[in-house]
Every structure is written in C-alpha cells, then in structure tokens.
Structure 1
Amino acid sequence: MPIQLPPIAPDETLEEVICQAFVQPVLYALGFGDRDIIRSFETGAGTVDFAAAYPCADDPPFGDTQKQPYLIVEVKPPAKRSRNTPSQTVPLSLEEGTAHQMRAIAQLKEYLFGPNCQSTQWGLITNGRHLQLFRRHGIVIYPVTPSLEIFPQGMPGVIKQLKQWLQEPPRALTVSVYNNKGGVGKTTTTINLGATLAISNQKVLLIDFDSQGDLSRSLELTPTETCLSQCLTEGDRDIYQTIRPFNLHIKSGQRVKTAHIFDVIPADSHLDHVILQTAIAPDQGMTQLREKIKPLQNDYDYILIDCPTQWLFFSKSGLYASDVVLIPTRHTDLSSLNNAARVIRQFIHGEMRQCRQDGGPLALPIFFNGAPNTGKAIEVAQTEIQEMIAKSSELIPYFWPQKRMGQDNRTVFNLPEYAIIARAAFARVPAVFKDKRVLGFYQNLVTEYFLDIADSNGDRP
C-alpha cells in the first residue's frame, strides 16, 4: 500500500484519514502485519490510536493477546475548525518547540506509563505532516529523532531511519553528568549513581572525560596501555582496550571476596592533546566520542560520562554523545542554578540540537545535590528559580517537573549529602558501599530519574 499524505481539510474525519492513508502504511513499511497492529489500544492511562508489536515465533500474535505493545502511535490532526469562523481551519503544528507538540509529547508519555504499556519501548506522534519517534529506557522517555517534516520523496529515508531504530535499538542509555559550574558534585554523583545502578543489576560503564581525572583517582584506576586519547585521535585503536573493571574487595573472616561492580574508561594525561589534534583535523571533532562508544552501547545498560565544568571540547563532546543530561545543582549556590538554566537553554536546546539534528540530548530535571528538605536556603533557591522561570517559562519542566495546570507543585528533588560521602572518596570506594543512608539517597535518585528499583532485584554487594 503506498504511503500517502492526506490533504488538510476542515473535516472532522481528518484524523481518521491520516490513520488509514498514512499511519497504517507506515506501520506496514516498518515490518508490522495486520495481526501485529491494534487500533484504539487502551493503555490504562487513555486510548492511543495504534499499538503494534513484532511477531515472536513462540508467542501468539499481538492482535490476539493485546498485551504490552512494542510501539504505540498517537495521531493528531494537522488542523481544527476555528471556533470563531467554523468554515476556516486553525493549524495544529507538531513542529519542534510548538505548544501543540509539547502537549502531544506529554500525552504520549502518559500513555507509555500506562499499566498496559509497562514493557513498551517506543512511542510515535504524527499528524501526517510531521512525525517524531521517542524511546523509553526504564522510566526515561527521550527523542531519537527530531520532529521530521514529511515529504513524499523523503518517506523511504524516514522509514529506513525508523526501522533501524525499532529493529536494532542500542541497549544502553548514555548519560552525561554536567553543570557549567564547579563544586556541584558531578564526579561524586557519577560514581555513586553508577554503583547504585550496578546494585540494581544494571551493567554500567563510567567514562572519565575530564583531563583532571578526578573520577579515576577517586577509584584508584589508571589508564590501560591503550588509552582514551589514543582512541579519539587514532582510528585503528580498539575502544574495548581502554576499559578497566572496578572491583570491590570484601573481607569475610580470613577471606577476601572480590566483586565486580562496574567498568571504567579512565582519563589519561594526553587527553588535552586531543584538542590540538582536532584543531588540525576538524573532522575528528566533538563527534568522535559518540562514534567511538557506539560499539559499547550494546554491552551496557548505562554509560555515564563525567564531564568537566567548562563548556569546551570535552563537555561538548560528552553531551553530543549522550541521550540525556543529568544536572546537579547546589541550593546554597545560586550561580549553579543560573548556570543550569544556561546549560538547558543555550547549550542543550541551542548548540547541541543544532549540531545533532536528532532532537537530543534531553535535559533531565535539575536536583539539589546536598540539600535539606526545608530551610531558608531552600526558600532562597526557590525564589531564584521563580525569577528565572518568570523570564523563561520553558524552564518549568526542568526546575519544577511536577508543576501542572491547577497544581502549583514546585518540588525539586533533593539528594542529601553527609560527610560520609566525602570520606568515602579517600577510601577509594563509592559512598553507597560505606553507609546505608547514602545508598538510600542514591536509590531515591535512581527511582526518580532512571528506573523502578522495585522491579530490580538488588542482590549484588
């Protein structure tokens, strides 16, 4: 069946026309058959227009079971009747950044979290003029394409791109920990987040992408014979050869048990030379890290990149390589809040998305790193946030993610910090293994941002 572009018309059946003449052929082209597709699927959080799942040899077709689709599709009309002039139509654009697109994305996320979509990995929104694909990894939902404008001659390329994502998805979620402000605990967060994910049975890789090497020193790890800087400047180097395991040594009576926690690519002393090399060969610029770690994305559940503070080559490369960005701030340091806003608006929504042209990376909501739940400092920080949001409302979901229409919830996630965290750095052990309180804090962080720990059996040390 050819993929058609339905005409925009002030017709109440327009959405149905898009479903039949556009979405259905797209699903066929993506490899779904009639028995793999359901119209009007109940997610448990509302009814989505389409749900589909690829057939499995040992299972009955999805159309028969109607359980846990692989992909859901929400269809929107490109226009609606004008209230003031019923004979005219009002455009409903899904272009990047429009209010209609934001509402459609919010609705898609609600559906993806519905009880009948617990294992659903993909969501698509379209109005026949634009479409955008989103991936779900744990509880993170992020774009893997920009809002693509559809033209008949470009559909084969779009289908090829979507099909590759759906049929060959990477295993890992790649996360940069970054703020354009020092002293907010980026390295400590990276180490303890990685350890907590590992405790939750996730396979984790940490990348120390700061030439100062604080993360590597904290874990007492040195570069291998093949180091990261060589991989970025010499095309024949094997990225796997840069990886070192981090093991925890546990004394039990007279015996010492060794447990593997996560893997690390340490920083090396030649990382600064990479900047000179990329100046000589611009084609080996900030895209290099992303290209080099692609083979690793099928070996890990999470790849965490510890980025330096300055918005220069290494931090740009780290964000360019990431699916999402985790932004720690200090409630006692108002400049860290303002810098976080700058990271979101100027670096992520501006420079990175212009460079990548794929809708990413996604900024996760900020959190207070080392904050009490109440107090004067929290009140001052909230006042500062309120003033920033008054100037730029686009910051609301990143500073007050629980704020909804009619619900003035201004909660910012707090990660308490005690001296035990700092002391653990001298012990060369993640703090989550030194104090159960700290482990609880970071388990809350993981549950807030990445996965439902209740679904992960934490039987590791």
Structure 2
Amino acid sequence: MLGFGDRDRLSSFDTGMGIADVAARFPRQGQPPFSQTQVDPDLIVEIKTPARRSRNTPSQTVALNLENGSAHHSRALQQLRQLLSGCHCQGTAWGLITNARHLQLFRRHGHLVYPATPNYELTGDRLEWIIKDLKTCLRSRPRATTLGIYNYKGGVGKTTTTINLGATLAVADAAVLLVDCDPQGDLSRALELAPLGTTLAACLQHPDEPITAAIRPFDLRIRTSSSIKSAHIFDVIPAAPQLQSLLIQAMQTQNPPITRLRERLAPLRDRYDYILIDCPSAWLFLSKSALYASDAVLIPTRHTDLSSLNNAAQVIHQFLFHEIHPLRREGGPLPLPIFFNGAPTTAKAMAVAQAEIERILQKLPHLTPYFWPQYQANDTTVFAIPEYAVISRAAFARVPAVFKDKRVLGFYQALVQTYLRPLAPTNDLP
C-alpha cells in the first residue's frame, strides 16, 4: 500500500538490535533490490496484535491500546527506538508502529526518533487518506530537525547553549539556523546581529512576509599572518523589539496563533539540518509557539538551582504533556533528558541535586526517563557541561565559546553525541 514492491520489503528483518516485523526500502537506481542487500531500509515496521490473552484469566483477552500516552504506546515506541539504533539501520529514516487499530509514523534523525504524523485511528472511511498522507511523508522527508532550548527558569544558560550547540553542529558540517524568539534579544546581541529589514515579528504577523528576508548570516572573522578572512558558521533570525508588542497582542487577541511559527519555519526545513530556537523563560505566546514548532526540546538546568529542576519537571509534565501534545495530536515535541549546565560539580552539590530529583520523581514517576535516562541500568547519572570561565567570557567577545577553547568544544561535542547524533572525531575549527 505504501509503494514498496515484493522485492523492496522483508519480514523479520535483523536490525542489529533486534528483529523488526517488516523492513522496506524504495528502489534505488543502479542498486540491487533490498531483498538482496538487506541493509539500510528506508522504513521499519513494528506490528502489535490488537489484543492478547490475559495472564491472570487466559479465557479473556486484553486490548493492546496504542493511543498516545498509553503504556503500550510508550513501550512500542521504546522498542522502535531500539530497533532503529541497530547497525543495519544506520541510514533508516522512518519507523512505524501499528496494531491494526492505530498507526503512527516516526522520523529518525541521528539519535532522535520523534512523531512525523498523528497517531491515526484506522477506520475504513479514512484509510485511503491515511495511506496517502504516509506516502507523502515517506517521499518528502524534511531535512531539518527543529530543536527548542527551553526551561521555565532564567539563568540556566539557554542562550549560551543555543549558540554553542549551533556552532558545534556547524563544525560537524551541519547547516544550522538559530532563531532568537526572546524579546530581550540576548542571542542576537551576543552575535552582534540585528534585523536589516524584515523582522521575525513581521513574519509572524503577516503570513505573506518572506521569512527568508529575516535571515542573517553569522560569519567568524579569522586573523591569519597576512590577512583577515571570514568563515560562515550558521544563519540567524535575530530578535527585534517588535517581538514584545507581538507578545502583548497575542495575549490580548489570541492572534497570531501559536501554530504560526511552525508554519513559517516549514519552508526552511529543507535548507538546514538543524533549526535551534532560543526561547524566553516565561510560558507565554513566544515560548508556546517555539515548543509547538519544535520536534524535540532540550532542557538545561543547574544542579545548584533546585527550582530549575522543578521547573524542568513542570515543562515536561504540564507544558508539553498536557498543553502542547494535545494541540499537536501526535505526541510531539519529544522532551529530551535534562542536563546540568555550567555549575561547579562538587560532590555535595550533586548529592543535593540528586535528592531533589528523587523527590520530584516520587511525585511524577513517569518523568524518570527525562531525569535519569539510564535508570533501568541502575545509573542515575545526569549529563553535565562543567563550569568553565571562557564560556561566559566568550559572550563579551561576540564569539561562540567553542571557538575560544577546544576543551569547551569537547563539552558540546559530547552534548551532541549524547542527545542528537553520532559525531566523527574532529579537532577542526574554522
């Protein structure tokens, strides 16, 4: 039904991390069919039965519910992520889970696996339309992953993370766009960039305003023994004072809607590998718009600031799970595990932070994977970027800190390696 022929698909495909029920690959000109090569399918499918026999009462059956938020859906998605991480799926971009009652397609980009379609309920009158939508997704994969950097707390390093993460991805040859959604404009000021004409606010107010006109390049000036050269690092949509007026307007009139930023960024998803959005702390129109537009959310915290840990829990449990996910209706964006950002990692301070996390998880145990991603292996480690003076000093030099010190680059390369994508070893700087 999805356009794969008999030679384009296999049952019981070994991904290297388990057996997928079905794997398929579109025909590739000049290459043998997938049934011969049996590597790097475009799609793997995990099929669940609609019901199974009850362990306690074998004569009864238990429905396997794959609705968003259900335990069966969470387990199926976890299994899909494991299968996609297999060595025979390094080039696989899509995963699908279904139980003949529900069906959902997920996109894989590096380590990230996030929803690409709503979790469809399969009914006869909608089946043809659903198949058409799936075919469109499979044939027109967007290039970019959009990542919101957010915590409902100031002073945790959202802007610093956005700039240095973007620079680190650029060093790894990714095409990157930074979007400054904060009316304070700290990111734009740190990079000495301002709108030249078209502003982000204008693009959000007027859908016919070309968003490409709001993009400005950030180039790094490199002094050599004989000259000064310029190297392009990434692109930026700077903030402008008009964002504050737009925020007030949206709060008063509910216009523009929080869907607008996602709509405006959509045409740019084929130009970049990553779009990083620096969000203001307040949970208002601009932050809601940024997270609605995101595929995944990265949440910096400080282990010396216990409120940042509690606010991170609020972001995931309330803002994402109970506000944005119901609006998006497909389980996105994906919250990534928290990380500790830029604080001295003393044993005493870490013990206090871990005790606070335990307290949070006693109340909200379903958040465990987002605080302790290796908890099933009895590992409560939280990824941390250590305090390093050059990171804060670099802001005054209007240069990402990763270009000031290779050790800082190493910190952020580890962040990318852990959360986003495998990285080949490199010490190259522009």
**TM category, shorter:** over 0.9
1:109-131 CA-to-partner distances (Å, cap 9, x unmatched) read: 11100111111111111111111
* Structure 2: tracts of 5 or more residues without a match: none
- Following superposition, the deviation at residue 145 of structure 1 comes to 2.7
C-alpha distance in 2 between matches for 1:450 and 1:279? 34
Instruction: Say whether residues 1:226 and 2:198 are aligned partners.
Output: yes
Instruction: Say whether residues 1:452 and 2:428 are aligned partners.
Output: no
- Following superposition, the deviation at residue 226 of structure 1 comes to 1.2
Q: How does 1:205-354 map to 2 (within 5 A)?
A: 205-278=177-250, 282=254, 284-354=256-326
1:252-275 CA-to-partner distances (Å, cap 9, x unmatched) read: 112111100000000011112223
**Which residue number in structure 1 is paired with residue 399 of structure 2?**
429
* Structure 1 counterpart of 2:356, one-letter code: E
- Following superposition, the deviation at residue 86 of structure 1 comes to 2.3
1:296-334 CA-to-partner distances (Å, cap 9, x unmatched) read: 110000000000000001100100111000000000000
Is the 1:71–1:121 contact (alpha carbons within 8 Å) kept by the matching residues of 2? yes
- Following superposition, the deviation at residue 134 of structure 1 comes to 1.1
> Among residues 153, 157, 160, which one is paired with 2:125 in the alignment?
153
**Which residue number in structure 2 is paired with residue 65 of structure 1?**
37
* Structure 1 counterpart of 2:308, one-letter code: S
1:257 counterpart SS class: strand
Q: Which moved more, 1:437-446 or 1:143-152?
A: 143-152
> Among residues 143, 161, 177, which one is paired with 1:189 in the alignment?
161
C-alpha distance in 1 between matches for 2:262 and 2:112? 20
- Following superposition, the deviation at residue 132 of structure 1 comes to 1.6
Percent identical:
60
C-alpha distance in 2 between matches for 1:267 and 1:84? 59
1:52-93 CA-to-partner distances (Å, cap 9, x unmatched) read: 011112211111211110100011112112233322212221
1:344-402 CA-to-partner distances (Å, cap 9, x unmatched) read: 00001110011111221110000000145551111101001011111111111100001
Is the 1:48–1:73 contact (alpha carbons within 8 Å) kept by the matching residues of 2? yes
Instruction: Say whether residues 1:95 and 2:67 are aligned partners.
Output: yes
1:370 counterpart SS class: strand
* Structure 2 counterpart of 1:415, one-letter code: I
* Structure 2 counterpart of 1:391, one-letter code: K
Q: Which moved more, 1:101-110 or 1:191-200?
A: 101-110
TM-score (norm 1): 0.91
**Which residue number in structure 1 is paired with residue 380 of structure 2?**
410
Q: How does 1:159-198 map to 2 (within 5 A)?
A: 159-198=131-170
Is the 1:199–1:458 contact (alpha carbons within 8 Å) kept by the matching residues of 2? no
Instruction: Say whether residues 1:48 and 2:20 are aligned partners.
Output: yes
C-alpha distance in 2 between matches for 1:427 and 1:243? 22
C-alpha distance in 1 between matches for 2:391 and 2:159? 12
1:29-67 CA-to-partner distances (Å, cap 9, x unmatched) read: 211111111011011111110000111122111112111
C-alpha distance in 1 between matches for 2:209 and 2:57? 65
C-alpha distance in 1 between matches for 2:8 and 2:97? 19
> Among residues 442, 453, 456, which one is paired with 2:412 in the alignment?
442
**Which residue number in structure 1 is paired with residue 83 of structure 2?**
111
C-alpha distance in 2 between matches for 1:121 and 1:39? 18
Is the 2:251–2:285 contact (alpha carbons within 8 Å) kept by the matching residues of 1? no
1:198-219 CA-to-partner distances (Å, cap 9, x unmatched) read: 0000000000111110000000
Q: Which moved more, 1:372-381 or 1:408-417?
A: 372-381
C-alpha distance in 2 between matches for 1:388 and 1:408? 18
* Structure 1: tracts of 5 or more residues without a match: 1-28
2:108 counterpart SS class: strand
Is the 2:42–2:92 contact (alpha carbons within 8 Å) kept by the matching residues of 1? yes
Distance 1:285 1:192, change over 3 A: same
2:245 counterpart SS class: helix
1:232-279 CA-to-partner distances (Å, cap 9, x unmatched) read: 112321101111110111111121111000000000111122234446
1:131 counterpart SS class: strand
- Following superposition, the deviation at residue 436 of structure 1 comes to 1.0
TM-score (norm 2): 0.97
**Which residue number in structure 1 is paired with residue 337 of structure 2?**
365
- Following superposition, the deviation at residue 343 of structure 1 comes to 0.2
1:154-183 CA-to-partner distances (Å, cap 9, x unmatched) read: 112211221121111110000010000000
* Structure 1 counterpart of 2:341, one-letter code: N
* Structure 1 counterpart of 2:407, one-letter code: R
2:241 counterpart SS class: coil
1:253 counterpart SS class: coil
Distance 1:329 1:276, change over 3 A: closer
**Which residue number in structure 1 is paired with residue 106 of structure 2?**
134
C-alpha distance in 1 between matches for 2:344 and 2:417? 19
